[in-house]
Amino acid sequence: MYQASEQHPLSASLPPIGEDVFASMWRMFVQIGKFWNNMDDPAPYKTQLYTFMVNRISLDPTYHHYYILAKQVTDQLIDKLGEDAAYAFLFTDPSATTASTSPLALTHRYVSNEFIAWQLALGGFKAWGALNYCGYIGGAYIPG
């Protein structure tokens, strides 16, 4: 039988993503583009980010908690380090990239890394000069 969408049975009972949590995740998404210099204007992707998050939660209800945890972690890092340094730490520090189950490592693995990969799929490679990705094509017979 064909199913138009998939949903984990526990996801249906979860509340919607809170506005404060989504605002925090949007800020992280924007900071990814700023930090990696890969997205000039993230604004058109705001609704898509929300949909991405809703879909992740629908497939795995644990993501609801990962996003709440990510807000808490980023709020604490920003309070401690300031905004730019907090995101640089989250995106690159070795203590964030461990296989542990610390709040920082979970935020890095299940939120920021996934947002980075998704942002690159949306066009971030173009900012780095790539020609063949996501609907764009370049090659030997195409000028430039």
Whether residue 143 lies inside any domain: the answer is no
Question: What is the C-alpha to C-alpha distance for residues 124 and 62, in angstroms, rounded to an integer?
Answer: 27
Structural domains counted in the chain: 1
Contacting residues for 127 by C-beta, under 8 A, at least 6 apart: 37, 38, 39, 40
Whether residue 62 lies inside any domain: the answer is yes
Whether residue 37 lies inside any domain: the answer is yes
Contacting residues for 16 by C-beta, under 8 A, at least 6 apart: none
Whether residue 18 lies inside any domain: the answer is yes
Whether residue 144 lies inside any domain: the answer is no
> Could you read off the pLDDT tens digit of each residue along the chain, which spans 144 residues?
455 667 887 778 788 899 999 999 999 999 999 998 887 788 989 999 999 999 999 999 999 999 999 999 999 999 999 999 999 999 998 887 777 889 999 999 999 999 988 887 776 556 555 555 455 455 555 555
Residue 118 contacts residue 52 (beta carbons within 8 Å): yes
Question: What is the C-alpha to C-alpha distance for residues 56 and 97, in angstroms, rounded to an integer?
Answer: 21
Whether residue 136 lies inside any domain: the answer is no
Whether residue 121 lies inside any domain: the answer is yes
With H, G, I as helix, E, B as strand and everything else as coil, classify residue 122: helix
Q: Which domain holds residue 32?
A: 14-127
| Nearest Cα to Cα of residue 63 among 76, 54, 74, 72 | 54
Residue 68 contacts residue 82 (beta carbons within 8 Å): no
